Structure 1
Amino acid sequence: MGLIFSQFLGSAEPEPPPSVVLVPPLLERERKGRSRFAKSSYDRLFGKPQLAQLFGDYLSSDIRAVIHFAPPEDQRINVTAKLGVPRPGAYAAGSPAKPPVAGGSLTLRWEPSPDMPYTFFDVKARTRGASSAAAVRGCLFDPRSNLAVWAEMPVVATNANGSPAASPGAGLRLGAKYSSPGLSLGAVVNPAQATLSHAFVVGRVGGLLLGAQTAPMLQLDSLCAGGGLLDRPAWATAVRQCQLATSYAVAYQPTPGAGTYGGRFTAAVELVRDSELSISFLHHQAVQRRVRNPFESSDVVGITNYLNFGFRMVSDLAGRQGSQMQLAAQWQANKNVMVKGHVSLQGVAVAGVIKSWWQPSFTLAGAAAFDFATGRTRYGLTAAVETFKNIRYERSAAAQKMSGARITQRHVASEEDVAYAEGRGLLVPLDEVDNPAVLGQQPAGGDDYL
């Protein structure tokens, strides 16, 4: 009787699989943030790296090649090589723009712990035309004390004519930095020349970000000359020198869950040495749309898209160069395709990017740029090869564990997801659009430090 009952249950049709929403990885992995504890916090905040990436990546009118390789046998070692070659005929003779020269760089990096990339040692060599340089750098970050110290020393340096530059020891730089989610301050000095290269301080109060940085190349031994440490004229001169070389910035950057709607944005204003005023806005948004792809299975009801929009206006307060304005937008439609465009007072550029997630992965981008002044159109090509490491999804760490380590993630569709696929309602409920687990990654390690 039990056998008959079990056979009857087994003959029932299996339940259909739950509806899912695709969550592709971001095409860019922001590897530049790995070295941020060996750099000024002022230079990496206020949306600066993100704007530089939005306005520049893949839009060049040159031929560029990039290789980023981390051997699977030992993830502590990785190498990055970049090569830029001006396209023949891209710049006509007599053009007001100076023709660029070929250049490249190679970085060999060692990280004791792959889960903590902020402590590292690397060797970097670069060449541009006839000039070349190489330097070694080491950084030690202690997450318990929030302190980081680093040193950078050039080992090879030649001028454009091939002659040796200054001795390597003269270029040694030592830096120290304290960083936390609310405050970051530090300084860099040149011991051989007894100079203060630059100093910075950055603080966060809620969604408000404030910062200042000075780069005075101040002679520290001059403060002790004459009247010693209490020599008031020397200190007054030093303070004035620092003031003339100081930049100030303020930004509004609300954290996810603090009233944002549909994405994350940064609105920033910067005064550069009393001579330049910069206003910028950057918006990143993760949105979901219905799938219109016959190659997807029937249980897929939506896919996440990533949109970036940026604006920057730079005014020369001295009135010598006038104002510069830039607008850029970027759309990643799925895990393989991204398009972006950039327009400024000088010209307009568009680019299309295709990425294959094989092992290793390949990226190919083509760009076209039109110059308003000359009326000429230039074309560029970028090719990149890289191995998988730290693939980023626009999902939380918990959501990543649920779906495993597949290249395209899936999460079970909610009632709102199914409703959206049927043309009814929103894909994400309104009370979840500012949830960090939906819009972005949870910070880990020192990622949330300034």
Structure 2
Amino acid sequence: MGNWFYKEPPPPVVLVPPLFEFPPLAARTRMLESSYNMLFGKLALKCLFEDYFEESRHFSTIIMLKPIDDPHVDLMATLSGPLDHKPDERIAGNAVFRWQNDLDDPHTFMDLFVSNSDPVLQMRSCANFPRYGVAAIGILPLLLKKRATAEDYGVMGLRYGSERLSAGITVMPFAIKDQLPRSAWLVSKLGRLTFGVQYEPQYGIRDEMKYKNMLNWSCAVGYGVGSGSPLCPSFNFGLELAKSSQFIASFYQHAVVQRRVKNPFEESEVVGITNYIDFGFELQTRMDDTKISNSIPDSTFQLAASWQANKNFLLKGKLGPLSSSVALAVKSWWKPSFTFSISATRDRVSGTTDYGFGLRVENLREASYQRADPNYVMLTPNKEHLAEGTVWKIGNRPMLESDVNAGNFDRLPKELRPQGRIL
């Protein structure tokens, strides 16, 4: 009789919130970019150093929406400008209408970009054939106020991508012969090491063989650990010689930690929550004797860190030789979601502190709180663990294990999976 009234308590769970910005919006159009410009931790560092750090005394608004009846299309509109009226500045506005062939694969798409500045109207597209690893890309400015260069008449390209190799070339069909190609790259991955080289003919006289000019070449090597999913810690270290004149050393680490939950509004079976901590550092040093400007130092650095406490709050800080910034973002996961951010920048030269504000409205990424399956959470095995399952004790730091470490992300929502298996 007693067993009829006895109800087994629910198993303990850990809250796993989605990242504020995952996958990054820049990843949606990464097929149009050189893999050299996206690897070596560059995309992660760009998001860490720029997202939610608004320009001083400026505001920005981003609206990203898609219709319920047709999720293959979406619209992203941005509006930014100064907080106070300035005669030499105006409010900048643009919008991107995008069509995507596969909801889970952003590599085949077409979008139309409209703006109140150049280009006024531009079309970009990519046709990806994953069976062969080949993709064709095209960028066509339809309306411009002035067509000054061959690039203003359009860019076409072809790329190949696999898990270990990426190669591509872009050309300007209306360019004269000695300006081809516009860019070319080759990136290869061997284990945890990634090597890459890129050619961009920007320097040299018109009749010169520009591939002989070392300023048109860049090379990089990187060491990386991690799968690319926010549920898996990652580590990236890169060295780059850009344009054969600038040495860049960068470091980025994404840490996944879990802490105890002491929230009276949560259910009793919720014992912990996953936090995301990111840290990045970048050092740039010029290798030539050319003095570009008195205001541009020969060597500079920047470092930044961010902490996402839960699905609603994100705190970031950035430090540089001339200024330091801090940003706070608050997100509500409604449909659509709203994100409000405020940033403060301290200028060490003038001794002033200015503020910037941002607002984002989005329903493109629909991730929500996930109650992690017990298989995803594991403590160091002990007798209590074997007898009672997941047990929390002060001083223990459980980490995500099981299928996540094995590389099986099929059971996770697509927002928490790696961005893709194309290098």
TM-score tier (shorter): 0.7 to 0.9
CA contact (8 A) 1:69 1:386 kept: yes
Paired residue type of 1:55: F
Task: Tell me the SS of whatever aligns to 2:282.
Answer: strand
Paired residue type of 2:191: G
Paired residue type of 1:339: L
Distance 1:37 1:100, change over 3 A: same
Aligned with residue 247 of structure 1, among 198, 212, 218: 218
- 1:149-172: CA deviation from partner (whole Å, max 9, x where unpaired): 0111101112xxxxx334999521
Separation in 1, partners of 2:13, 2:267: 10
Aligned with residue 398 of structure 2, among 405, 427, 435: 427
Aligned with residue 201 of structure 2, among 213, 216, 222: 216
Separation in 2, partners of 1:50, 1:247: 20
Separation in 2, partners of 1:444, 1:298: 28
Residue 137 of structure 2 is aligned to residue 150 of structure 1: yes
Distance 1:429 1:377, change over 3 A: closer
- 1:360-401: CA deviation from partner (whole Å, max 9, x where unpaired): 10000111000011111110111000014363xxxxxxxxxx
CA contact (8 A) 1:325 1:345 kept: yes
Task: Tell me the SS of whatever aligns to 1:112.
Answer: strand
Separation in 2, partners of 1:36, 1:175: 13
Paired residue type of 1:213: Q
**Where does residue 110 of structure 1 map in the other structure?**
99
CA contact (8 A) 1:143 1:446 kept: no
Larger radius of gyration: 1
Residue 271 of structure 2 is aligned to residue 271 of structure 1: no
Aligned with residue 165 of structure 2, among 170, 176, 183: 183
> How many residues matched?
395
**Where does residue 197 of structure 1 map in the other structure?**
182
Comparing 46-55 with 381-390, which one deviates more in the overlay? 381-390
Task: Tell me the SS of whatever aligns to 1:43.
Answer: helix
TM-score, reference length from structure 1: 0.80
Separation in 1, partners of 2:183, 2:149: 21
Separation in 2, partners of 1:255, 1:341: 24
**Where does residue 380 of structure 1 map in the other structure?**
356
- 1:329-382: CA deviation from partner (whole Å, max 9, x where unpaired): 000000111100000001110011110011110000111000011111110111
Separation in 2, partners of 1:37, 1:66: 23
**Where does residue 110 of structure 2 map in the other structure?**
121
Separation in 2, partners of 1:122, 1:44: 20
Aligned with residue 365 of structure 1, among 341, 347, 350: 341
* Correspondence 1:436-447 to 2 at 5 A: 436=407, 447=420
**Where does residue 397 of structure 1 map in the other structure?**
none
**Where does residue 69 of structure 2 map in the other structure?**
73
Separation in 1, partners of 2:224, 2:328: 29
Paired residue type of 1:116: D
Task: Tell me the SS of whatever aligns to 2:183.
Answer: strand
Question: Equivalent pairs: percent with the same residue?
Answer: 33
- 1:170-208: CA deviation from partner (whole Å, max 9, x where unpaired): 521110000011001111101111431111110000000
Comparing 361-370 with 292-301, which one deviates more in the overlay? 292-301
1:55 Cα deviation after fit? 0.7
1:244 Cα deviation after fit? 2.8
Paired residue type of 1:448: R
Aligned with residue 35 of structure 1, among 21, 29, 35: 29
**Where does residue 43 of structure 2 map in the other structure?**
49
Unpaired runs of 5+ residues, structure 1, are: 1-7, 94-98, 159-163, 223-233, 392-405
Task: Tell me the SS of whatever aligns to 1:34.
Answer: helix
1:115 Cα deviation after fit? 2.3
**Where does residue 294 of structure 2 map in the other structure?**
none
Separation in 2, partners of 1:47, 1:240: 29
Distance 1:338 1:347, change over 3 A: same
Distance 1:312 1:168, change over 3 A: closer
CA contact (8 A) 1:309 1:329 kept: yes
